[in-house]
Amino acid sequence: MRVLGVDCGTEYTGFGVVELGPNDSLVCLTCGAIKLSPREPMARRLAIIFDRLGVIIHEHRPDNVAIEDVFYAVNVKSALKLGQVRGVAMLAASSAGLDVAEYSPLSIKSAVVGYGRAEKPQVQHMVTRLLNLDQVPEPADAADALAIAICHLHTSATLLRQRAVGG
């Protein structure tokens, strides 16, 4: 299974494609961030996110897309902008015929670190270890996107095991 994780943001939207390899090993195929200029109109930034995610989906052919669920935002305006970015990420996925899974920050941290209140450096460290990377993915948004993809892979594997036992 191959998953595109997306860490939605209005300045940087992180992305990471992770594949479940042989012996349940996790393999990072690509990661990075879509840098957006705050000087650009919001509509233009959303178009850039849609286009770039479309290219990543086309190049890496994920089976699913996973994004972080809405969480507390500093203010209403920030929450609305974040919601627009999330909507565009969902649209890019659904336009390619892919399902979208949403995970809370608590679920993501629990799946990657084992502790839902983990700090960002702990998540980055575990992502680096789980994917056997030489260095911490930069920017932090890329590491977050990889964590979201890992969360989906772990959750999917658990659900498959439960179905096998119960089925």
Architecture of domain 2-166: 2-Layer Sandwich (3.30)
| Model pTM score | 0.93
- To the nearest whole number, what is the mean pLDDT of the chain? 92
Structure tokens at 68: 């972080």
Active site residues per annotation: 7, 68, 141
Report how far residue 97's alpha carbon sits from residue 64's, in angstroms, rounded to the nearest whole number: 9
**Is 129 in a helix, a strand, or coil?**
helix
What DSSP string runs through 51-118?
HHHHHHHHHH--SEEEEEPP---SSHHHHHHHHHHHHHHHHHHHHTT-EEEEE-HHHHHHHHTS-TT-
pLDDT at residue 73 in the model: 63
Asked whether the predicted pLDDT for residue 158 surpasses 90, the reply is no
Structure tokens at 106: 């608590």
Kindly report, residue by residue over 105-114, the tens digit of the pLDDT. 999 999 999 9
Kindly report, residue by residue over 11-33, the tens digit of the pLDDT. 999 999 999 988 889 999 999 99
